Amino acid sequence: MVRARRSILLTILLCTVFASAQTSSPVAPSVPPSANQAAVTPAFDVRAAVDAYLAKMPPAQRARSDAYFEGGYWLLLWDFLSTVVVMWLLLRFRWSARMRNLAERLTRFRPLQTALYWIQFIVVLSVLTFPLGVYEGYFREHKYGLLNQTFGPWMRDQLVGLAVSVVLGAILVVPLFGLVRRLGKNWWVWGSVLMIVFAAFVSLIAPVYIAPLFNKYTKLEDPKVKDPILSMARANGIPATDVYEFDASRQSNRVSANVNGFANTQRISLNDNLLKRCTLPEIETTMGHEMGHYVLNHEYKGLVMIGVVIVIGFAFLNWGLNSSLGRWGEKWEVRGMTDVAVLPLAVIWFSLFFFLITPVTNTISRTMEFEADMYGLNAAQQPDGEANVDMLLGEYRKLDPGPIEEFIFYDHPSGRTRITAAMRWKAEHPQSANADEMARPLFNTK
Ligand SMILES: [Zn+2]
């Protein structure tokens, strides 16, 4: 252990010396490329450069970030189990049947019955899972120093989230049960299509109607940041005239940016933590990554891939419902597939499916994220800035997992994978080395 650490120290030392030698002429087009390469490439050890970046985070902080992220693996299981238990309670004690009866007493109009059932369902679910939710979203986040909010504003966000779930859920559940009633056995085929359309719809309205409920979005004005970003956008064929900034610091210090929206609502946003905590090369490489998502059409490709997952999931759900309804349906007073009271059972099967295929959905996402990284490196040409941003993300994502761990649990590549890609890129583009970025301390070393 001690030895390993000492060797990391040594590599940092070597790298710092190396870095200053490397960028003594920061922009040197006059140097013939061959001479430049000869001076740098043979000596550049990608692995050592990666280790030097990883060593920027003090061991204590690294241990804390690892513990936080690894705890998240267990939360996947606890979330799944708690959902199953709550759903089982709803069925076993016939609360689900009672909620349906109430909805039927209030109105004879079936779509409205479904909506009324849904409202009761989501409220009861939120109340019953509240203790775990508070631990996970509030106390645990505070324990690891990742949340800036006091309880009041945090609770306000939860309630807004609940309201969004009530509305969006009703928009999905009402036509879904309409389809089940009309199509009988084959409901799941058109059900999946409906689900995919719904996902596209949520994606379309999210930046305009949902995201602003939680954060304030403004157009980025600072020309020192805005101009290089828009220049990069133009160079990459992105018809953007604005970049958005949002106040993520309301919730946490996490650095992040995103592309969201669909069709004409698609936009690139970066958060104020990124603006406050990062240098221009770091912001540029992050924006390069986001532009990668945009240019590579990840929003649409993701929808197609998730669409395939959903079709399989609905087939599984259909099978699961049929096999369990025959056995317990009567006891739970669930009349069949067309009865909304079946919803808790559907949630059990659907959660089981998504729990089991976690590695698949994570790999879909992680693969696209890696593509965006590659795009960002080529677009921004800031491998050292990229490595620093990857380190900052290491505040909440374990930096150096094993390969199987990364395959199962990571929806983005790990810090080591991303920094390795950046350093590999840098090895082939020695002129891109940035000594300031390499030397920049990212964390408080106490
Ligand atoms: Zn991304």
What are 224-245's pLDDT values in tens digits? 999 999 999 999 988 888 889 9
- What's the 292 CA to ligand 1 centre distance in angstroms? 8
List phi, psi (to 5°) of 260.
-135, 175
How far, in Å, is the centroid of ligand 1 from the Cα of 386?
13
Residues 228, 231, 233, 239, CA torsion sign: positive
Q: How far is the CA of 6 from the centre of ligand 1 (A)?
A: 34
How far apart CA 157 and CA 441 sit, in angstroms, is 34
**Percent of the chain whose predicted confidence (pLDDT) is above 90:** 81
Confidence category of residue 1, pLDDT binned at 50, 70, 90: very low
* Enclosing H/E stretch for 199: helix 187-205
Distance between CA atoms of residues 376 and 383, nearest Å: 9
Residue 20: what pLDDT?
Answer: 32
Ligand 1 center–CA 97 separation, angstroms: 43
Q: Give the pLDDT confidence score for residue 445 in this predicted structure.
A: 67
Q: How far is CA 294 from CA 203, 238, 262, 299, in A?
A: 14, 8, 10, 7
Residues 6+ apart with CB under 8 A from 253: 146, 148, 273, 277, 395
**pTM for this structure?**
0.86
CA distance 229 to 380: 9
Average per-residue pLDDT for the chain = 89
Ligand 1 centroid – CA 149 distance (Å): 25
Using the mean position of ligand 1's atoms as its centre, give its distance from the Cα of residue 369 in Å: 5
pLDDT recorded at residue 184: 82
Which tens digits make up the pLDDT trace of 27-51?
333 434 444 444 445 678 999 999 9
Measured in Å, residue 371 CA sits from the centre of ligand 1 at 9
305 Cα: distance to centroid of ligand 1 (angstroms): 16
Beta strands of 167-295 (E only): which ranges?
217-219, 244-246, 257-260, 267-271
Query: Looking at 5-9, 152-156, 330-334, which range is the least confident one?
Result: 5-9
Residue 276 Cα to ligand 1 midpoint, Å, equals 20
pLDDT of residue 98: 97
8 Å CB contact between 202 and 155: no
Amino acid at 42: P
Ligand 1 midpoint to CA 368 (Å)? 7
Could you identify the residue written with the tokens 């019953």?
128
Helix (H, G, I), strand (E, B) or coil at 259: strand
Ligand 1: centre distance to CA 206 (Å): 17
Residues 6+ apart with CB under 8 A from 6: none
CA of 268 to the centre of ligand 1 (A): 11
Q: Is the dihedral of CA 215, 216, 219, 224 positive or negative?
A: negative
Residue 400 CA to ligand 1 centre (angstroms)? 19
Q: What is the pLDDT of residue 207?
A: 87
Q: How does residue 444 score in pLDDT terms, banded at 50, 70 and 90?
A: confident
| pLDDT of amino acid 4 | 35
89-103 average pLDDT score:
97
Q: What is the mean pLDDT of residues 423-427?
A: 97
